[in-house]
């Protein structure tokens, strides 16, 4: 089958590799190179880098307009395969593909339609999430379901670790669908059960210490690697990279203000009071410094215990 593969981020790489092994990838459609870093250097998407490594043609139009459609039509693709491309395909573009278009989405649709389903599942404390392969439809993530798998969650996943799992498991599911596309009976989504997630923004990472330890823990895991959960310490930005709720016996003083750094637990880490329970912080990073294990952090910051975060 001749496939146009549309994707940009790292999660799509296992799918590209899997489909490349079994089908003809007539081109890879990915986002234009973007400026990044202090030097504002143009950087390619991870999918572009892999496509070049595989010797594939790369298309990077700013808009999916008539010119872009003409370039795609000349390649005579049969199927459009989308993995986290981040743009909507109009009817004129989809009409270029005799076998239509399919999309890999890392949630159990109709749950968590939208651009950030993995952090959304972690933030909500879900006990399971999953992968869905769906038909592309005019409304975002509303297409008929071709296949789904469930991924159990331990409650210690980060967006980074869960994205790796979703990418790997999703690639296998997507490859299976493409092998038997005409033989699969699509199932209509129950739109009444749909929930939605929004694009992550940097301001979402600011910790509110009046929230409970369990919710702050989810936030730290959901926002790793970006935008990272952060607070302030003596006016300096402090990133929280790893933590977990402390057991009830670690609640040293229930009348302490949220954000108060209470003490250390030699086997667990730094104990911080929250609005409901105590959070054990294990990895921290002051802005412009290296990430540190809590013991190493305290070796360089001697007045941390007894201070208040976020004040």
Q: Whole domain around residue 218: which residue ranges?
A: 202-300
Looking at the fold, whether 104 and 167 belong to one and the same domain comes out as: yes
Task: Render pLDDT for 208-225 as a digit per residue (tens, 0 to 9).
Answer: 999 999 999 999 999 999
Q: Which residue has the tokens 């926002």?
A: 223
Q: Residue 62 pLDDT > 80, yes or no?
A: yes
Long-range contacts of 191-194 (CB under 8 A, 24+ apart): 191/110, 191/142, 193/110, 193/111, 194/110, 194/111, 194/113, 194/142
Q: Which of 143, 166, 193 is the last residue of a domain?
A: 193
Identify whether residues 167 and 217 lie together within a single domain: no
Write the CATH number for 13.
Answer: 3.40.50.170
Residue where one domain finishes, among candidates 193, 215, 244: 193
Q: pLDDT exceeding 70 applies to what percent of the chain?
A: 98
Q: Which residues of 59-92 are buried (b: 16+ CB within 10 A; e: fewer)?
A: bebeebeeebbeebeeeebbbbbbbbbeeebeee
What is the per-residue pLDDT for 41?
87
308 domain residue, yes or no:
no
pLDDT at 276 (0 to 100) = 93
Residues 18 and 136 in one domain: yes
Same domain, 75 and 101: yes
Q: Does one domain contain both 70 and 134? A: yes
- Residues 21 and 151 grouped into a single domain: yes
Domain C-terminal end among 141, 160, 193: 193
Residue 86 — very low, low, confident or very high, per pLDDT cuts 50/70/90?
confident
Helix axes 13-22, 46-53, angle to 10 degrees: 30
In a domain, 311, yes or no: no
At which residue do the structure tokens 């609005």 appear? 275
Q: CA angle, corner 252, sides to 251 and 254, nearest 5? A: 70
CATH number of the domain where residue 273 is located: 3.10.25.10
Same domain, 206 and 151: no
**What's the chain's Rg over C-alpha atoms?**
23
Q: Which residue has the higher pLDDT, 254 or 83?
A: 83
pLDDT digits (tens, 9 = 90+) for 150-194: 999 999 999 999 999 999 999 999 999 999 999 999 999 999 999
Residues 15 and 134 in one domain: yes
User: What pLDDT does 37 receive?
Assistant: 73
Is the distance from CB of 57 to CB of 26 less than 8 angstroms? Answer: yes
Mean per-residue pLDDT of the chain: 95
Sign, CA dihedral 300-302-306-307, equals: negative
Decide if 74 contacts 36 (C-beta within 8 A).
no
Total structural domains in the chain?
2
In this predicted model, what pLDDT tens digit does every residue of 269-293 receive, in sequence order?
999 999 999 999 999 999 999 999 9
Q: Please choose, from the candidates 205, 244, 211, 206, the residue with its C-alpha nearest in 3D space to the C-alpha of residue 225.
A: 205
The answer to whether position 273 is within a domain reads: yes
Same domain, yes or no, for 127 and 268?
no
Residue 252: pLDDT band (50, 70, 90) is: low
pLDDT tens digits, residue range 24-37? 999 999 999 988 87
pLDDT of 254 strictly over 80? no
Using the predicted structure, report yes or no on whether residue 38 has a pLDDT greater than 90.
no
């Amino acid at each position: 089958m001749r496939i146009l593969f549309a994707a940009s981020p790292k999660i799509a790489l296992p799918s590209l590799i899997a489909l490349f092994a079994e089908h003809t990838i007539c081109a890879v459609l990915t986002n234009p190179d973007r400026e990044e870093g202090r030097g504002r250097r143009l950087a390619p998407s991870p999918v572009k880098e892999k496509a070049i490594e595989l010797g594939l043609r790369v298309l990077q139009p700013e808009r999916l307009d008539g010119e872009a459609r003409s370039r795609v039509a000349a390649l005579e693709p049969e199927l459009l395969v989308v993995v986290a491309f981040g743009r909507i395909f109009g009817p004129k573009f989809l009409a270029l593909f005799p076998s239509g278009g399919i999309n890999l989405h890392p949630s159990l649709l109709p749950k968590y339609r939208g651009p950030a389903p993995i952090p959304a599942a972690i933030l909500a404390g879900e006990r399971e999430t999953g992968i869905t392969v769906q038909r592309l439809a005019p409304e975002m993530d509303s297409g008929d379901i071709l296949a789904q798998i469930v991924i159990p969650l331990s409650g210690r996943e980060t967006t980074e670790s869960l994205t790796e799992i979703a990418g790997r498991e999703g690639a296998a599911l997507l490859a299976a669908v493409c092998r038997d596309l005409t033989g699969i009976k699509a199932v209509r989504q129950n739109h009444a059960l749909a929930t939605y997630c929004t694009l992550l923004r940097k301001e979402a990472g600011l910790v509110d210490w009046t929230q409970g330890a369990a919710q702050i823990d989810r936030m730290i895991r959901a926002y790793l690697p970006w935008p990272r959960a952060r607070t302030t310490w003596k006016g300096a930005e402090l990133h929280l990279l790893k933590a977990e709720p402390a057991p009830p016996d670690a609640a040293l003083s229930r009348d302490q203000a949220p954000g108060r750094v209470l003490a250390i637990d030699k086997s667990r880490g730094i104990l911080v009071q929250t609005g409901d329970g105590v959070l054990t912080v294990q990895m921290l990073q002051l802005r412009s410094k290296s990430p540190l294990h809590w013991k190493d952090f305290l070796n360089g910051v001697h007045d941390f215990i007894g201070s208040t975060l976020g004040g």
